[in-house]
Amino acid sequence: MLNSRSFKLIFIIFIFVLLFYNIGKAQKEDEIFVALVYDVGGRGDKSFNDLAYEGLIRAEKELKIKSQVATPTEGSDREVFLRRFATGKAKIILGIGFLFSDDITRLAKEFPDKYFACIDYTVKPGEKFPTNLLGIKFREQEACYLVGAIAGLMTKTEKVGFVGGAKGPLIKKFEIGYTAGVKDVNSKCEVGVTYAGVSGEAFANPVKGKELATSLYNSGADIVFHASGSTGLGVFKAAEELNKMAIGVDADQSKEARQGIIITSALKKVDVAVYNAIKDAVQGKFKGGIKEFGLKEGGVDYVYNDSNNKIISQEIIKKVEELKNKIIKGEIIVRFK
């Protein structure tokens, strides 16, 4: 039989176990879940989706959130994944890419107690905008203008090229900005333009990217800029094989080919946008609406660092920095319509 001392000891141990169990349970209940649905192609594009992943991982480390992710393989998957997360534990659901715009708007209205955010959100005129939805847009044309200026100043053949992913309003901004930059510094330069398709799959076809870039190079272009997700990895492959130059997109893509091939990249800070949206939701500061980021806000830029400072002359960089400052001051407006 237990004496009174033993009984007290067991009772104390029981209380401590119960206390720690409840603390652990409370901590688990307090965990904040974040759901993210990638654009077509998912991770591994060394660009758009991978930047979103970096923003999510940063949030996991710094904000102590738990994440759930999904990658659609076809159009109907986007709504399926968004809805699955909205009916679950997720506090904020992010759609990475303009293709999510319609689905995420509809679900934000359906689930007003959840937060939603969409990168490259496409605004429909006259549509009522949910207060729990954040539409993030970038002035990509400004960064593309700068890399276009670099191409126009560096070309030896007076011919450069552009490979887009899915032909539509968003990627048209990249094309127009790039072309404007080329022409403003080199009016004689020709810009060859081609697209990989009209659907989301056009952003995940490196074989097509290589084919299109090879055609541009064989037509005389010595520099090709891509805005095509993982399709652009094929552009880099063509540049390597033909010993030509290329320009990356979204992230610094200089390491995706041997040194000297990728001369710069048009940066689009998707990682920062994803992290900030999650941070605001976690800290109770989330505000719906449209937010747009360009050079002035630090949302876009171009790459100039140790990877390419021996490729691009100081004279060219000085010219490009002058153009950048003029855009920031509003002295140059890069139009895309």
Q: What are the φ/ψ torsions at residue 43 (nearest 5 degrees)?
A: -70, 155
CATH C-level class of 29-138+271-293: alpha beta
Q: How far apart are CA 284 and CA 62, in angstroms?
A: 16
What's the mean pLDDT in 247-262?
A: 94
| Same fold: 29-138+271-293 with 140-268+304-329 | yes
Evaluate if residue 3 carries a pLDDT over 80: no
Delimit the domains of the chain by residue range.
Answer: 29-138+271-293, 140-268+304-329
pTM for this predicted structure = 0.85
Q: How far apart are CA 154 and CA 177, in angstroms?
A: 17
What's the mean pLDDT in 220-236?
A: 97
43-63, pLDDT tens digit by residue?
988 899 999 999 999 999 999
Q: Which two tokens stand for residue 198?
A: 């009209």
pLDDT at 41 (0 to 100) = 81
What's the mean pLDDT in 280-285?
A: 95
- Report, at the CATH architecture level, how domain 140-268+304-329 is classified: 3-Layer(aba) Sandwich (3.40)
Q: How far apart are CA 324 and CA 322, in angstroms?
A: 5
DSSP class per residue in 39-95: PTT-TTSSSHHHHHHHHHHHHHHHH--EEEEE--SSHHHHHHHHHHHHTTTEEEEEE
What's the mean pLDDT in 9-33?
A: 50
Helix, strand, coil abundance in the chain, percent, nearest 5? 50, 20, 30
